[in-house]
Amino acid sequence: MNVAGWNLLVSDAATNRQLRTLRQTVAEGSWNGKLVLSRKAMQVFRPGFTHKAVYGGRVTEKTTTIALYIIARMEAAYTRVVCLRKRLVSLRHSSMQSLKDAIRMLGLQDRFDVLHNEIIHKENGSLAFFKGLESDAEETMRGTQGVDVFWLDEARNVSYKDFMEVVRALRRRGAELISSWNPLDPEDACDKYYRGDNPPQDLLKVHLQHEDSATFATSPAAKEYHRLLAEDPQLHAHVYGGGYDVFKGERVYTKFKVGIVPRQYLEGATCHYGLDLGYVDDPTVATKTWLNPRYGLIYVEKEAVGYGEDVDGIADLLNAVLDSKDDDVISDNSEPRTTDGLNNKGYSINRTRKNVVGKSVVEGVREIGGYAAQYIHPECTETIDETKHYKWKIDRVTGKRLQQVRKGHDHCWDSIRYAVMGRDLVEANDGVGVMRIPGW
């Protein structure tokens, strides 16, 4: 594919002409006759902005749009790109796969070298590399001198302090920061910065919705979209419309505290591992939880979260929480081939079974909530975040709480629930089956 030189895209005064030129170059956002990007999504290609905030619900092509934009820039002229996430368990959990997909979509496989930890243009030397912010954001950003494009994916998960470290790294003339996320809370750092009362002046905001996705209608999310719209319009507006989670129901867990439990309180405790397998835009989550009946203690010590993971990617998540490959892991069985693949790699994955009497979701919630001392390690930020938004359903007529947990913000807690309920969910003979009820 021939991409117009990036010198066409540097003048604010010529924005409309530049967009026309670029659209002609990329055939109105389509490749091989298949529509890929909507006109709204193509706004991400506009020049002259230091900040680009790209947000919306699930299956809205945010990631695809940004990846195509970055590869187009790298093809057009020398460009240095750093792809950032809060946590980088491994490169499988980075934006590398999205850039590789964009290279394929643009038919540029012979123009790029995809190495272990970077992507390099063979002719002009354009470079993309990948970093995580969680361990030391300040130190991470010191290694980004000369970067032209910063892509902060899943920006909602990044703390205000780390987010501002990224903002302050924009030193090079013409450098831009592209932040992408699914909105949850207006108090999240990226939301306050870009959608609050005092946003930066040189900001482009692009709110993508499912209508902007060429793949939505044929994806598994389409059926769930309509089911959730009928069942819970508020949650639907958040999950698929990119709105905030404004649901005011009672939180499921109200007693968990954030802190590190001293090791002496773990003497005599048992360690439990859970795995919740994701699909489409839902994450896959592995967790490590301690239980100590002597102190009435439950302690969520480790989590590992990834999106769009294959078997190797899930193995990385497990390695981040397990003490040994021999440790038993309790998993749902939504993907038997995946769990079989993990077992073939030497892990001990035990799938849960269906409709276990006395072991429903609500029973699991009660079991977890029954511990007197409830703690979450400070580094388990996804679990902490889910705890704020994991809520009971409310009767629409009476306004009273129902004995049903509202779906959403439950991936870490499903993993923890599998771990805590443990072998009661697993058949004694071969460990196959799944505990699933309609809607879960």
CATH label of the domain that carries residue 345: 3.30.420.280
Mean pLDDT of 50-62: 92
User: What's the confidence (pLDDT) of residue 26?
Assistant: 47
pLDDT, tens digit, 9 for 90 and up, residues 79-131? 999 999 887 766 666 788 899 989 998 889 999 999 988 999 999 999 999 98
Q: State yes or no: pLDDT of 199 exceeds 60.
A: yes
For residue 167, tell me if it sits in a domain: yes
Please state the length of the chain: 440
User: Which of the residue ranges 53-57, 61-65, 344-348, 349-353 would you say has the lowest mean pLDDT?
Assistant: 349-353
User: What's the confidence (pLDDT) of residue 10?
Assistant: 39
One domain, residues 311 and 409 = yes
User: What's the confidence (pLDDT) of residue 432?
Assistant: 36
Q: What is the CATH number of the domain that holds 109?
A: 3.40.50.300
Q: Please classify residue 363 by burial: count the beta carbons closer than 10 Å to its beta carbon, then call 0-12 exposed, 13-18 middle and 19+ buried.
A: middle
One domain, residues 206 and 304 = no
Q: State yes or no: pLDDT of 4 exceeds 70.
A: no
User: What's the confidence (pLDDT) of residue 11?
Assistant: 40
Mean pLDDT of 359-387: 90
User: Which of the residue ranges 234-248, 382-396, 423-437 would you say has the lowest mean pLDDT?
Assistant: 423-437
One domain, residues 261 and 210 = no
Q: Write down which residue in 190, 217, 244 finishes a domain.
A: 217
One domain, residues 206 and 269 = no
Higher pLDDT, 69 or 229: 69
For residue 234, tell me if it sits in a domain: no
One domain, residues 184 and 285 = no
User: What's the confidence (pLDDT) of residue 358?
Assistant: 61
Mean pLDDT of 368-372: 92
User: What's the confidence (pLDDT) of residue 24?
Assistant: 47
Residue written as token pair 């981040």:
320
User: Which of the residue ranges 147-151, 287-291, 304-308 would you say has the lowest mean pLDDT?
Assistant: 304-308
For residue 133, tell me if it sits in a domain: yes
Q: Write down which residue in 217, 237, 268 finishes a domain.
A: 217
pLDDT-derived band of residue 406, with 50, 70 and 90 as boundaries?
A: confident
Secondary structure, 3-state, the chain: CCCCCHHHHCCHHHHHHHHHHHHHHCCCCEECCEECECCCHHHHHCCCCCEEEEEECCCCCHHHHHHHHHHHHHHHCCCEEEEEECCCCCHHHCCHHHHHHHHHHCCCHHHEEECCCEEEECCCCCEEEEEECCCCHHHHHHCCCCCCEEEEECHHHCCHHHHHHHHHCCCCCCCEEEEEECCCCCCCHHHHHHHCCCCCCCEEEEEECHHHECCHHHCCHHHHHHHHHHHCHHHHHHHCCCCCCCCCCCECCCCCEECCCCHHHHCCCEEEEEEECCCCCCEEEEEEEEEECCCCEEEEEEEEEEECCCHHHHHHHHHHHCCCCCCEEEECCCCHHHHHHHHHCCCEEEECCCCCCCCCHHHHHHHHHCCCEEEECCCCHHHHHHHHHCEEEECCCCCCEEEEECCCCCHHHHHHHHHHHHHHHCCCCCCCCCCCCCCC
Mean pLDDT of 20-49: 67
Q: Write down which residue in 165, 186, 217 finishes a domain.
A: 217
Number of domains in the chain: 2
pLDDT-derived band of residue 354, with 50, 70 and 90 as boundaries?
A: low
One domain, residues 274 and 178 = no
User: What's the confidence (pLDDT) of residue 106?
Assistant: 87
Q: Which of 270, 304, 273, 260 is nearest to 290 (CA)?
A: 270
For residue 230, tell me if it sits in a domain: no
Q: State yes or no: pLDDT of 2 exceeds 60.
A: no
One domain, residues 400 and 288 = yes
Mean pLDDT of 407-432: 76
Mean pLDDT of 414-439: 62
Mean pLDDT of 364-379: 92
What percent of the chain has a predicted confidence (pLDDT) above 70?
83
One domain, residues 202 and 262 = no
pLDDT-derived band of residue 137, with 50, 70 and 90 as boundaries?
A: low
User: What's the confidence (pLDDT) of residue 433?
Assistant: 36
One domain, residues 26 and 173 = yes
Domain that holds residue 338: 257-425
For residue 292, tell me if it sits in a domain: yes
CA distance 248 to 241: 18
One domain, residues 199 and 58 = yes
User: What's the confidence (pLDDT) of residue 335?
Assistant: 87
User: Which of the residue ranges 92-101, 170-179, 263-272 would you say has the lowest mean pLDDT?
Assistant: 92-101
One domain, residues 264 and 374 = yes
One domain, residues 210 and 86 = yes
